[in-house]
Structure 1
C-alpha cells in the first residue's frame, strides 16, 4: 500500500468549479465510505475547506487509486469527470507526504502561514477516523499535525507576511489618513494580496476591489473577503 493525494484547490481550479466540488463534498461522510467500498482504497481521509478538497488515501496502486477517487468526486459533486480531471492535482508516496506537511504548515494556503488549517486537518482526520482512517493515515496525520504545530510555533511563519502588510498599511495611513470606511484596491490575488485584503477588512475599510492578471483568482479572493465581512 502507498499514500496518494488527489485534490482540487484555489490554485488549480476556477472559482465556480471549485465551489461546486466543495459544496458537493462538504462534510459528506459518504465520500469516505464510498472510497472504502472501492477495491484499491484501504484507508481515506477527506480534507474539505472553502479553498480546497483533498483526498488522502492508502491505496494498492497509483492509477487504480486516482481513478477511484476521481470517479467518486465527480459523482458526488456533479461535475463531469472529464471537466474535473483537468483541474485535479495528484501526489504519490513521498510527494504526497511532503504535500500534507506543506498544507499543515500553511505553505499551500491562500494566506501563507495561516494556522486555521491545523484545526481543519484535525477535524478532517477525526471525521474520517471511524470510517476510513486506519494505522497508515493515523500515523501520517499525527506527524503532519506535529510538524505544522512546530512550524507555526517556532518559525514565526504566521507573522512573516503579516509584518510586511502591517508596515504597508501604516505607511498608507500616514499618507492618506485613516482607512476606515474607504474603498481600497488590492493589486494581486496571491497570498500577500489575500492577507492585505483580510487586514483591510478588519481595519473597517469599505469596498475592497481586487485586481489580478487572472479573473478567476480575483473573483475567488473577492468572494472570500466578502464572506469575511459578513
Structure 2
C-alpha cells in the first residue's frame, strides 16, 4: 500500500484555473464514491477550498495512480488533462503525509498559520468517513493530522499576530483605544480593504459607521451592511469631529482631507484621539496631519511593515510546528509499520487458543473424575501459561516491525511459529467478508465498479 496526494493550489495554479476544479457541496459525496470506483484506490478523501483542490488516496500501485486520478479529474470536470496537468503536484508516502500535516496546521496556506483550513480538512475527512471511503489508514492519519494542528495552534503563537492589512489596522486601533466599544467609523471610498477593515472594527465593538463615496448608491449599499449612514464628501467633512476612526481609500489623484480640516475637527472634539488609516495609493490624507496632536495617522506602508513583522514572527513559530510534524511523521510511521504485524499476532493467538482447547479436551477425557471447579482452575492456569509464553514474542515482533527490513523479521516469525495455515484461513475468511460487503455496497450504490473495502495486507508498508 502507498499513500498519495494529488492536487493544485494557489501556488501552482491561478484563480482562473482553480475555479474550474471546484465542487458544489451537494456533489462531494458522489465525487468521493466516484473516486473510490477508480482503479487501485482503496481509501480516499477530497479537500476542496477556494485555494486548493486535493485528492488524498491509499493505493495499491503508486506508479499508475497519478494517471488514474488525472483520468478521474478529466471525467468529473470535463477537461482534458493537457489543460491542468502542468498545474498539478503529487506527493507519495512520507511526503504526502507531511504535506497533509502542513496543510492542516496552516503552514501551506496563503496566510501562514491561518486556522480556517483546519476546519475544512476536518469536514472533508468526516464526509469521507460518512461515505465510507476511509478505512484503517486514513481514519488514523486524518485524526492524527487534525489533533496535531489543534496542538500546534494552542502550543505556539503562530495565529496571534495580524498578517493582513485589515487586521493590522484593528491591532493598531486597539493599542490606541484599548477597546472599540461605541467608537464611530468613517469610511472614505468603498474598496474591498476598507470594507474588510470596517467589518473587523464593527465586529470589535465600533457602532456608528459613516460611508462616503463618489457614487452614492455604492456608499449606501456598504453602509447598509453595518447599519450605517451614507454621506456626501461635504457632509463628511462637517462630521469629522464626531468620528473616532477614519479609513480612507478613494482612488483620488490628490489629498481629500487636509491638515487644516483635521485641526478644526480636533478643536471641536476637544482633542480626543482620532485614528486615521490611509490605504489609498496615491494617498488620500495629507501626511502632515500626523503632526496634529492626538491624531494617529498610518498609511499602507505602515500597515504593511506591521504585517511583514508579524509574518516573520509567524515564520519563527512555524519552525516549532515543523518539529512537531517531524515527530508526528515518526509516530505515524511506527504505527503504520505495525499494521502488518496484526494478522501475525492474531494467527499466533488463534493457534495458541486451538492448542489450549485441544489440550483441555484431552485432559477431560484422561481425567474424567475432575469436577467443574477443578477444571475451571486448570483451564485458567494453563491459559495463563499460554498467554505468558506469547507475551515476549508478540512484544519483540512489534519492536522489530518498527526497525529496518521488517518484512524479514515478520517472515521469520511466521516460519518459527508455523503460522502459514492460520494466515491462509484468515485471508480466506477476509476474502469472503470483502465479497459480501462489496456486493452489499454495490447493490446500495448502484455502482458499475465495486468500491474496495480497506483490508490491511500482511507486511504493509509504503
Q: Would you say the 8 A contact 2:47–2:55 is kept in 1?
A: yes
- Whether 2:176 is the aligned partner of 1:170: answer no
Tell me how large the CA RMSD over aligned residues is. 3.4
Gaps of 5+ in 1: 187-193, 211-230
Match of 1:202 among 173, 189, 200: 200
- Does the alignment pair 1:181 with 2:183? no
Structure 1 residue 103, shift from structure 2 partner: 0.7
CA distance in 2 between counterparts of 1:32 and 1:135 reads 17
Residues 200 and 100 (structure 1), Cα distance of their counterparts in 2 relative to 1, 3 Å cut? farther
For the residues of structure 2 that align with 1:163 and 1:21, how far apart are their CA atoms? 27
Q: Determine the structure 2 residue equivalent to 1:15.
A: 15
Of stretches 70-79 and 26-35 in structure 1, the one that deviates more from structure 2 is 26-35
- TM-score, normalization: structure 1? 0.73
Q: Look up the match of 1:156.
A: 157
SS in 1 for 2:160: helix
Partners of 1:141 and 1:30 in 2: CA distance? 21
Kindly report which structure 2 residues correspond to 1:1-230, keeping only aligned pairs within 5 A, or say none. 1-23=1-23, 27-129=27-129, 130-162=131-163, 166=168, 170=172, 180-183=186-189, 199=197, 202-203=200-201
Give the conservation status (yes or no) of the 8 Å contact 1:42–1:59. yes
SS in 2 for 1:106: coil
In structure 2, how many angstroms separate the alpha carbons of the residues matched to 1:185 and 1:72? Answer: 40
Q: Name the CA distance, whole Å, in 2 between partners of 1:66 and 1:140.
A: 20
Whether the 8 Å contact between 2:162 and 2:171 is mirrored in structure 1 is no
SS in 1 for 2:11: coil
Q: 1:54 to 1:170 in 2, by over 3 A?
A: same
User: Structure 1's 5 and 185: CA in aligned 2 closer, same or farther, altered over 3 A?
Assistant: same
Paired residues of 2:170 and 2:197 also in contact (CA < 8 A): no
CA separation of 1:14/1:163 partners in 2, compared to 1, >3 Å: closer, same or farther? closer
| 1:128 Cα offset (Å) | 0.7
Question: How far apart are 1:170 and its partner, in Å?
Answer: 2.9
Q: Following TM superposition, by how much is the alpha carbon of 1:80 offset from its aligned partner in structure 2, in angstroms?
A: 1.9
Residues in 2 aligned to 1:143 and 1:28: alpha-carbon distance in whole angstroms: 23
Partner SS, residue 75 of structure 1: helix
**Higher RCO, 1 vs 2 (CA within 8 Å, ≥6 residues apart):** 1
- Assess if the C-alpha contact under 8 Å between 2:3 and 2:92 holds in 1: yes
Alpha-carbon distance in 1 for matches of 2:61, 2:25: 24
Q: 1:34 to 1:201 in 2, by over 3 A?
A: same
User: By how many angstroms is 1:134 displaced?
Assistant: 0.8
3-state DSSP of counterpart to 2:143: helix
Unpaired segments ≥5 residues, structure 2:
177-183, 203-246, 252-278, 280-462
CA distance in 2: counterparts of 1:20 and 1:203, whole angstroms: 35
**Do 1:35 and 1:68's aligned partners in 2 also have CA atoms closer than 8 Å?**
no
Segments ≥4 residues shifted beyond 6 Å: 206-210
8 Å Cα contact 1:25/1:48 also seen in 2: no
Tell whether the 8 Å contact from 1:35 to 1:41 is kept in structure 2 after alignment. Answer: yes
